[in-house]
Structure 1
């Protein structure tokens, strides 16, 4: 009916297999992973996941707790496992820079992490769960080349060496390490095979590698151009400021004071609005509700995750589609 759909996709994977999924933007790579997790309904065919699985989405997310709790996600703390995960995701260097290390509060109520840091916290959360099957939606795109290589070597190749790993990626330099490569186009699997097989027998695969490489170079060029524009803009503003007479004062000066705000100012503000008693009551209710909602949301996420682990703990480790 003219709607986008996934079709003609079939493959199986076993423990130790790394399956890479590549294709142009919008071809259905993320949709395929979401179909495997059950987030997207399929109307024909079969999807079979034997064992527990862990899905790492392309959009990283964290909640307002410590980095440590973001990684544990409700699971019991194991120091040896935690340190292995932190090293595999290159978070140990970040912990040195954070004020309280792994116990630093992040999110809306704490330190704001960069996109690359969020991606690595999400990856660490997945590794700590020790699932049987890992569905990774392009986690390497949010970090620089050096960290990307570290994540692939330490997290995917080494830490997950005995797991089933389905990796969506645009990093063509890692494709040679995969067991199989699935090439998607417009929701359809057009090629599947090893890196050597596709490179020799598929002109489509070779052209796609060239297109991906060109796109990466363009993105890097755009990024460098944006950075240079920012530097030029800052220098331009600085030059303008130097040319102005910094000793010239405006004709009409506003009065100002420095120091703490007197309590009477807050009381007057409340009296001018809804009244002191009602104002204080609303403030207490607002802050109380915020804490209740925050605690409940974190509890619900942890309970939901643990329920999935209990549901699949007796399953064997295999998958097919």
Structure 2
């Protein structure tokens, strides 16, 4: 009996060892696979393409990001390496979320803080004053970036805007990657914010910002959709206005106005006589931040007292920061413009 029990025990042990070996082989065959980078340069397509790689069947929603225990990407997480192409046509590859970012423009600083990446900001330009935490960051110059101060922050990414064009190539020559953006429309601003969320692995936070901006825009569009458009003059800097093809022009249109300067393109100095002839019903002007008062300038201009907007007191200030920065507060400027143009419809 003792020998029989011993033989049975040996047989059970051998069987158990065999099963464990088979299981180990099976697990090795089902391990996580290394992602094969596709070289995608269009940020808007990154998530869809990466999601397709991880899709087990046609019924499952594509995800991107860190892998869960079953080998699939976690929703709302960025999967690296990530390739994006910026507004200058430069392709950047990110092996992980940047940890040290220098911002050369207030709009980019606000975007980073809005998506929850403020802790990764190690340097900002002189004009980055929002949110309050941004103003406390080390300064790296204004429009003329202090390259020495910039390098001292040891950034692994620099974010830049249209006002920084002159210095971008110099920074890239120092082997510091630069992500450059130059949005011309509200949709492009929202897309930029979402792309930064993708780069920084802050997709959920960026999505919330984008959804709020879209909701603000829809509120305005719905409120003024049946209202007659009013003639509007915008002065964003003393003696300067904006024509077609710029985000400020779009804001005026979305807010239920017709930009009287829309016959020209870009940013340009005004012809006072043409403004008088156009006779705007509403005047919007930037104010704040130590800027010389545009309102005082308007009051002193010969003949402007005959403009309907001036005669009727329809002159409305908008904070210069929110009206001029292509960042997350741009729809706040849209709401302010709509309240000024159609105060009976937008509250």
> What band does the TM-score fall into relative to the shorter chain?
under 0.3
| TM-score with structure 1 setting the length | 0.20
| TM-score with structure 2 setting the length | 0.19
Which has the larger Rg? Answer: 2
